[in-house]
Structure 1
Amino acid sequence: MNFFLKNRRLIGYLGAICLLFGPQIFSQQVILGSDSLFHFNRFYDTAMQMKEQNWQYFISMYGFHESGRIVNALYGPLIAYFQGGLLLLTGTWFRYQLSSNLLLAFLAFFSMNQLLKHYQIDQYFRYPISFFFVTTYAIQYWVLRQGFSSWGIALLPICLIPMKELIDKRRLPIVTVGLSVAAMVQTHLFTSLLLVSIYFLVFIYVWIMSNQKIMLFKQLASSMIVCGIFSMNIWLVLYQLYTDNQLVAPFVNKEIYLSTINYQSAYWLLTPISFLGVIFWLIKETSVYRKKLPKPTLFIGGISLVYLLFSTNLIPWKLLSEQSFKIIELIQFPFRFFMPFIVLCGLYWGLIQQKTQKRNKKVEKGVVIISIIQTILVSSFHLFMQYQQSPATYLGKHARFTGAVVEEVVDSFHSHNLSELLQLVNKSTPDYVPIYQKTADNKYELYRQEIIEAKGFDKKVKDRKLIIEWFALEEETMVPIVAYKGTELNFNQTKLEIADVTFSPIGAPILLSQKGLNHLEVTYPATKNYNYLFIVVVVLWLGVGGYLGVEKLRKMYVGRSD
């Protein structure tokens, strides 16, 4: 009882987080967003690997229409296996999504809370800010649209904890910074670039003020080595694949200037609506207390404004996109810069409140209540509109619904046959498939025609191989799989040399079928070595987790003894 009384405010906020998902619990529906099918295929693939003990680090043998394409090895493999394990444990897509959403929300809350706690900000200030963080679009992006960057942003506050030592002591904590960046690389690559950019700005600030500049560079180099070791599975895969293959880049946004918070992506700024009030309040408080605020606090506020600026059209995004700069194509959506702004703004908010000791309980309750109501209303609206429309409509461009009625999709949310949902709805996404020849044809349409809608092929997984069988006459046949330079093809008991095979522009092999039954086995030989490498990386992370756990218990024991 004493525990609940002592932590009643924390328990109250955790209960409020659970309340946010009331509409989904009540409707018993999965919210399908524009990125849902891409990630659901990723996690279905890892779930089936674990279920059937067919560990395949590279090619997709279960997800993505059993196409053999490479996705997870390039896109957060550690968290992909975590999500696959969660899917396997929960058993249905509805239970998986609800569990995943709750885990993300709790991660975001405790992550922000730990960052604020590290800056000695009182719980009366940090709990409302942490809860507010959960209701921002940075986190709701996953809930409503399955934007995976939400997982990176939820982790970002924890990864910024070493920043305090860098600023206060002008010393870069080698291990914690290296591990923080490596953890983000394992989660979401673009968010890791945002994290590195924050540390770069802080490092430059500290380096200018420091009289030990050489030492700082040595610490930076050492932290990069730590990061490299704990994320070597990512870098080695990138090196191998991009050395031997030219891959289709993720979606290139030709109208990047539309995706800013002062244009078509204003919902980032208005989720929740009280965010505008928070920003204006911070501006007012800064102008009043500017001379009393410590320089590090003002610096954090300053770099947060840098990211706010980059999320708007005050940066000439239209002009920059017309120059076809690769880095601009990588950014895709300027609203991505608003995500680190949210985290840094939350930290600055806590620092301002801690310094001024201004606490208005009515305003605090108002902000929390508005956040709860708006989050519930928005998710309810998404669920209502989803049920009123065809899945292909709300899944966005390049999506197809293969069923007869919407109710089939709703039923598949609760089916223990996890492939049922992925068969009823599909979406053409050719990210990371190889390019064998230039073509003016739309790659999304090519992928749909050659991989998704190909008929007459039987696919199965046996002995850790993807096996495709079909009946044909003596004719050329385009097989609905994706082969890379590194993929091994055994066709009708003959090993083929990739250099001798004819491929479609996006890597589907065109083979001369024999009359009758044809048999193709697809493997990726490098998988065996990379499986071992992945195990080494996992053991390293488990070791770090175990060490931190023991240290936590030791400090708790010492604290009680005192």
Structure 2
Amino acid sequence: MKKLNQRPLMWQVVLLILMSGVFLLPQIIGKGMILGSDVVFHFNRFYETSQQIKEGNFQYFLSIYGFQQSGRIVNALYGPFFAYFQGLLVLLSPSWYAYQLISNGLLYLLAGLSMFGLLRKLKVNGWLATAMGIFYMSTYSIQYWIERQGFSAWGAAVLPLCLIPLIALGQEKKLRPFAVGVSVAVLFQIHVFSSIMLVLMYVPFFIQAFFSGEGPDVKKQLVGKLIGAIGIFLLLTANIWLGMADLYLNNQLLAPFVNHNMQNNTITGTSSYWWSTPILLPIICALFFCGALKVWPKLASDMKLMTLVAAIFFILATNFIPWTWLGSLDNGLINLIQFPFRFFVPATVLIIAGLCLLVPYYQGQQLVKPIWIILLVVLSSGQVLIQTTNKMLDWRSDEAAVTLRNHTYLATDSAKELKAAYFAADKSLALALYQRSTPDYVPIYQETTENKYDAYGEQIIEKNNTVVKSVEEGKLTLRWQGDSTDWVQVPVINYRYTELTLNQTPLNHADIQLSTIGVVTLQQKIGSNVLVVDYDAPWYFDSALWLTIGAWLLLPLGYAVWWWRCQR
């Protein structure tokens, strides 16, 4: 106990690290995989970047290793820089099983340290901050990746850290452009929708600071700093928003899954596991809102606003919002939401932080005694361990390795063979044995009622065995033998700036035909045919990409200058 009191910060961080490892124990002991609904999609994304790093063939736009080597664009629209970070983890891992352990452990640690960092900045007691950091690891905001490979969990893991600049905005009515710009940019580079929610969390605090400021000079200065923060954000994310703008302006891209039944995916609908993981979370929510209302007159204005923002996000995650009606509107902005339970992530963060801030108002009362905090951590951690253990028992049972869903393609009838593939050194094996038709971001060339998932399965997945694909000189290459001069469909997708070269002859639009989802049909020759696929990005994108990379590399220097100016 004496050692703990002498260097508390070190021991608090050590405890967070240890708990990140403890949460992995069932999977380490059980030696099994957790294959959720999004595992195929994200494993393909990260295999793509891992192979690009390994082979030195950097192709920012096209998928030349993953996604059936179809030449489709995914990572450029979905956290490209972070995808390369995940690809590095895949490359360093001897198997998919090892990668899952490493990525899960890193996610746990990141989430715990992130919540710990936010709470310490809010001057919450170090041991309470540690306990709530562990509790945050156990919430479904983080478990979403562990159990289903839902990528918003990575956004949730860093969200608390990205809220730290909100403290100065709420308490001092000061906006720090460097901190705000970098925070939003970090989240934007990881998960775009999470960054949108972060901005929505900032908006009410900015409005409060703006209207509580005395005099036009203060308001002018606040707006000037906001413009500076936006400038920093744009500089650090130019690769994404410029790439998105170019792709969407020059192609009609198929949006990711459009959920017409959003009312089901709320914490009061069929996604109630967000609300019950851990099972004590509803009690935590009730304690926060009831506790805040009880001492409402005593609360500072920023704490009151924080409570209101938490309540708004909480309600947005429920069926108190008419999601049935909203989902029927077919509105692009509403379709972007997909799953209303996503709003529960910022609500969870604010509720945990807010509950800790309420502790001083209830000092001496039974509920704030350490024993209850310890019990909360033990029970929530135990629930995670039990849930993971159950998944390992499922993995070891005689049932299939994966749950068969719509648009699933299995290249083997043997569960044993599929399971073994996730422990093999050749990571492409598992991707070949277990495939799903997910046509997100493919180009649409005709408006038809054709099911795009079925079209992708028939035209890409099922036709992949008609050609031999490889990467040569950094370009995707298709080879096949033609027995006639007929037009044939080849399993590769064409975008506005895709370049196709058949038998050393560049093809133009008149030389090809395109299916609804952009799959190429061309005229082959008798004998050997070679199709080379490349992508010619506009000149300004290359400039923006290098500018963004340079900006991130110079970020530590920029921070040092900002810190020095703040000390003056």
TM-score, normalized by length of structure 1?
A: 0.94
Q: What's the counterpart of residue 274 of structure 1?
A: 280
Match of 1:303, SS? helix
1:361, 1:183 → 2: CA distance? 35
**Mapped partners of 2:400, 2:511: distance in 1:** 44
Checking the alignment, whether the CA contact within 8 Å between 1:92 and 1:414 is kept in structure 2 is yes
Is 1:460 matched up with 2:470?
yes
Asked whether the 8 Å contact 2:409–2:435 carries over to 1, the reply is yes
Match of 2:448 in 1: 439
* Structure 2 CA distance for aligned equivalents of residues 256 and 270 of structure 1: 19
Moved more, 9-18 or 170-179: 9-18
Q: Which of the residues 488, 494, 497 maps onto 1:477?
A: 488
Counterpart residue type for residue 459 of structure 1: K
Aligned to 2:191: 188
SS where residue 248 of structure 1 aligns? coil
Mean CA deviation greater in 491-500 or 93-102: 491-500
Tell me which amino acid in the other structure corresponds to 2:515: S
Amino acid at match of 1:342: T
> Which aligned pairs between 1:158-557 and structure 2 lie closer than 5 A?
158-211=161-214, 212-357=218-363, 359-388=368-397, 389-393=399-403, 396-454=405-463, 455-472=465-482, 473-498=484-509, 500-526=511-537, 530=541, 533-545=544-556
Alignment check: 8 A CA contact 1:57 1:530 kept: no
Please report how far the alpha carbon of residue 549 of structure 1 lies from its aligned counterpart in structure 2 after TM superposition. Answer: 8.4
What residue identity is the alignment partner of 1:464?
Answer: G
Code of the residue aligned with 1:239 in structure 2: it is A
Contact 2:16 2:112 in 1 (8 A): no
Q: CA deviation at 1:493?
A: 1.5
What is the SS of the residue equivalent to 2:441?
coil
**What amino acid is the match of 1:417?**
D
Question: Could you list the per-position Cα deviations for residues 436-494 of structure 1 after superposition, in whole angstroms to 9, with x for gaps in the alignment?
Answer: 11121110010001111103200000001110011122211111011101000001221
CA distance in 2, matches of 1:118, 1:433: 44
1:91 CA displacement: 2.4
Which of residues 71, 86, 89 in structure 1 aligns to 2:89? 86
CA distance in 1, matches of 2:171, 2:332: 36
- Contact 2:48–2:65 (8 Å) recurs in 1: yes
Aligned match of 2:73? 70
2:511/2:522 contact within 8 Å kept: no
Distance change (3 Å), C-alpha of 1:490 and 1:178: same
Cα separation, partners in 2 of 1:550 and 1:227, compared to 1, 3 Å: closer
> For residues 46-61 of structure 1, what are the structure 2 equivalents within 5 Å?
46-61=49-64
Q: Residues 55 and 531 of structure 1 are in contact (CA less than 8 Å); yes or no, is this contact kept in structure 2?
A: no
| CA–CA distance in structure 2, aligned partners of residues 524 and 122 of structure 1 | 53
AA at the equivalent of 1:299: L
Which amino acid counterpart does residue 121 of structure 1 have in structure 2?
V
Asked if 1 retains the 8 angstrom alpha-carbon contact of 2:169 and 2:209, the reply is yes
Q: Give the conservation status (yes or no) of the 8 Å contact 1:4–1:11.
A: no
How far is 1:221 from its partner? 1.9
Aligned-residue offset at 1:550: 10
Q: Is the 8 A contact 2:267 2:274 kept in 1?
A: yes
1:411-449 deviations in whole A, cap 9, x for unaligned? 112211010110110011000000011121110010001
| Counterparts of residues 21-32 of structure 1 (less than 5 Å) | 21-32=24-35
| Residue type of the alignment partner of 1:430 | P
| DSSP-derived class of the 2:533 partner | strand
CA–CA distance in 1 between the matches of 2:5 and 2:253? Answer: 54
Inter-CA distance 135–443: structure 2 relative to 1 (3 Å threshold): same
Summarize the Cα distance change of 1:148–1:386 in structure 2 as closer, same or farther, 3 Å threshold.
Answer: same
The gaps in structure 1 that reach 5 residues or longer are none
Write out per-residue CA displacement over residues 135-162 of structure 1, whole angstroms, 9 at most, x where no aligned residue. 0000010011110001111111111111
Deviation for aligned residue 1:23: 1.2
Structure 1 CA distance, aligned partners of 2:260 and 2:50?
35
Q: Find the residue that maps to 2:372 and give its secondary structure.
A: helix
